[in-house]
A and B are shown apart, each in its own frame.
Chain A
Amino acid sequence: MRSNDTSEESPALIRIVVFEPPGPPNETLAALDRIGAEVEFSRCTDLETCAQAAADDEVDLVVFDRRATTEISAVLAALGASAPPSVAILDKGSPESDALEAFRAGVSDCVREAGDYAEVLPVVALEQIRRWRQQRKRAVADRKIAWLERYSENIVQSINSALLVVDVDGQITLANSTAGATLDADPLEMTARSIDEWFPSSALEPSLVRQTLEKGVRFRGAETMIALPGRDAVPIGISCTPLLDSDGGTHGAVAIFQDLSEIKQLQQQILQQEKMASIGQLAAGVAHEINNPMGFIHANLYQMAEYLDDLDAYLEVVDSLVETANEVANPALGSVLGRLAETRKRVDFNFLREDFRKAVLESQEGSERIRHIVRDLRDFSHKGNAERSLADVNQCVDTTANIVFTMMKHSVVLEKEYGELPELSCYPMELKQVFMNLLVNAYQSIEEALASGSREAAIRIVTAEKNAGIVVRVTDTGVGISESDRQRIFDPFFTTKEVGAGTGLGLSTSYAIIERHGGHMTVDSEPQQGATFEVWLPLDPVAASSEAP
């Protein structure tokens, strides 16, 4: 017994509560002391103290020493389900029915205070304690297992990444809620479905998960696309690890992934912003350098045109001189006149005179164009030294629309739907430039559509208050914009217009202006379906910019 005791992992100290009889002491304590290990007794003589002492978690055993059944059941009832084992010591002369009643009251065992009870009691007590301690250990272990299960389940469910576990055949065995959300499915219904439903895979191009399953390849932070029914493919970042069994074979895979759509979009935006900023700097530098030589080329061309006028005036007199001289018969004069006529023919004087003027005029036109490009460039990177002021955006839109409308040669239906707007703190001139640009573009697109047989010709302007800001939407029935053009439409120098018809700076300048207002501009269009440009301007640009990531 003793050796058994010491092999137990439980604490060596044994705690026993003894509910003692009021009468003279018997051999109980001495007998229990014989258990072998160190024993600590809590001795009680009344019901309350006994119930209280026995409620301690550390108590290994309660001994009811010759107590009435009513008292036993009262103590055990107070202790409830978590009661430690108890042994009742029955009076020497008590009837057999007392034992039965004690068991009914809930004691674990009974010992009669008979001749050898001092020998029996420690054995019985020890057996109860051993069982109790084993049971307690198991309960603790069970609780720990349950806790661990909940713990890992919590982790799996609460991680912000989608998590999928698949078996060797690629069937999903576990999906967390983020996986469900990302893949547009109920995570519980996903189990037993094939991973290939979302991660398209073929023999030639196996999906990353398939590669992990088939070749044991690990991926970390790889990028791929997933297929969702009825939606565009979604870009994700994924890590894939094979699940290995003890002999190193793959019996499944774990995939952790995240939807990258938003990040990709942000990246695109940042890229665009960076591009704008660097182009702006470049533009400022280039414009300055170009303006110096352009200054005198431009001025000289105008002077040359004036010089030509003066030359013409002079040559007119020369012409009449020649005419008069031709009538005079003088050999010396005749030889000079002959040389003059010969030279005039050789250099093709009439053409030269005419073409000189043409060349100058064309150069003037070219120089004028460069001047405009440089001015647009300057506007583009212009920081704007004008003060912000409160303006009625509807009015900005309307005056601009009226100016553009008078310029329209074809009859275009102009629909206006102005919402009630609060005043906006902005740079009104700059905003008008943006609206002008959008309206002119809309008109030009409609012109192009009309030329290729379209019958519709309408521009619709809508303003409204939206998301703590103001929205201005310009929709046209023009030729629309292809997907590839849409990607580059806000890029500086990108133009679909004929050479010379546009500098390709209009929309990028507009984009930069809207950005300076803390807003954004988007385009929605399909080829042949017209286009809608939407500008959003925040009422509080500071708040809007601090919210932006």
Chain B
Amino acid sequence: MTRVLIVDDEPGIVASLRRTLRKEGWEILTAVGPRDALQILQGGAVDMVISDYQMPGMTGLELLSQVTERWPETVCVLISGWADSMSEQKLREAGVRTMISKPWDDGELKATLRTLLSS
């Protein structure tokens, strides 16, 4: 079963993403922060990590670049409330495959994630 980890310190985002992806038939894991996320990943790799950018302790970009380094197979998706401050190059270096800005469009989001997971 496809395993997807959602990381965000905002519980509302985690819950709504879980709702959105409920019918995809994936196993949804959630973490409230980067540390929590890394702990979960150490317990077993996942197919995709969707992480928020602004989080206490570590940015989503830092988390995802660690994920890319340790679990290169994992698809990394960054989700952000403010898309401007990140350069394409930084995203690429961290292994981010796509970036989603809040608020997202449900249909688009699902389609994007499906494509990324099937490739």
Specify which of B19, B81, B82 is in contact with A299 (CB 8 Å cutoff).
B19
Is the Cβ of B106 less than 8 Å from the Cβ of A302? yes
Residue of A nearest to B17 (CB): A299
Is the Cβ of B104 less than 8 Å from the Cβ of A382? no
| Chain A CB within 8 A of B10 CB | yes
Is the Cβ of A378 less than 8 Å from the Cβ of B84? yes
Enumerate B76-91 residues with CB–CB distance to A below 8 Å.
79, 81-84, 87-88
Least Cβ–Cβ distance between A366 and chain B, in angstroms: 12
Residues of A within 8 A of B103 (CB): 291, 294-295, 297-299, 367, 371
Least Cβ–Cβ distance between B13 and chain A, in angstroms: 5
Residues of A within 8 A of B81 (CB): 287-292, 295
Residue of B nearest to A305 (CB): B106
Give A240 to B51 CA distance when docked, in angstroms: 69
Per-residue A-contact encoding for B7-19, CB less than 8 Å = 1, 0 else:
0001011011101
Residues of B within 8 A of A292 (CB): 10, 12-13, 81, 102
Specify which of B84, B88, B102 is in contact with A294 (CB 8 Å cutoff).
B102
Residues of A within 8 A of B79 (CB): 295
Least Cβ–Cβ distance between B67 and chain A, in angstroms: 21
Least Cβ–Cβ distance between A204 and chain B, in angstroms: 57
Residues of B within 8 A of A287 (CB): 81-82
Residues of B within 8 A of A302 (CB): 20, 106
Enumerate A446-473 residues with CB–CB distance to B below 8 Å.
none
Give A367 to B105 CA distance when docked, in angstroms: 11
Residues of B within 8 A of A382 (CB): 84
Residue of A nearest to B15 (CB): A296
Enumerate B1-60 residues with CB–CB distance to A below 8 Å.
10, 12-13, 15-17, 19-20, 54
Residues of A within 8 A of B16 (CB): 295-296, 299-300, 303
In the complex with contacts A294-B102, A367-B103, A299-B87 CB distance below 8 A:
no
Which residues of B approach A to under 8 Å, CB–CB?
10, 12-13, 15-17, 19-20, 54, 79, 81-84, 87-88, 101-104, 106
Instruction: For the complex of A and B, list the 8 residue pairs with the smallest distance between their C-beta atoms, beginning with the closest.
Output: A295-B102, A291-B81, A298-B103, A296-B16, A296-B12, A299-B16, A291-B102, A302-B106
Which residues of A approach B to under 8 Å, CB–CB?
284, 287-300, 302-303, 367, 371, 378, 382-383, 385
Given contacts A296-B17, A297-B12, A303-B106, 5 further A-B contacts (CB under 8 A): A287-B82, A289-B81, A296-B16, A299-B104, A367-B103
Chosen A-B contacts, 24 in total, with CB atoms closer than 8 Å, are: A284-B82, A287-B81, A287-B82, A290-B81, A291-B103, A292-B10, A295-B13, A295-B16, A295-B81, A295-B104, A296-B10, A296-B12, A297-B12, A298-B103, A299-B16, A299-B17, A300-B16, A300-B19, A303-B19, A371-B103, A378-B84, A383-B84, A385-B84, A385-B88
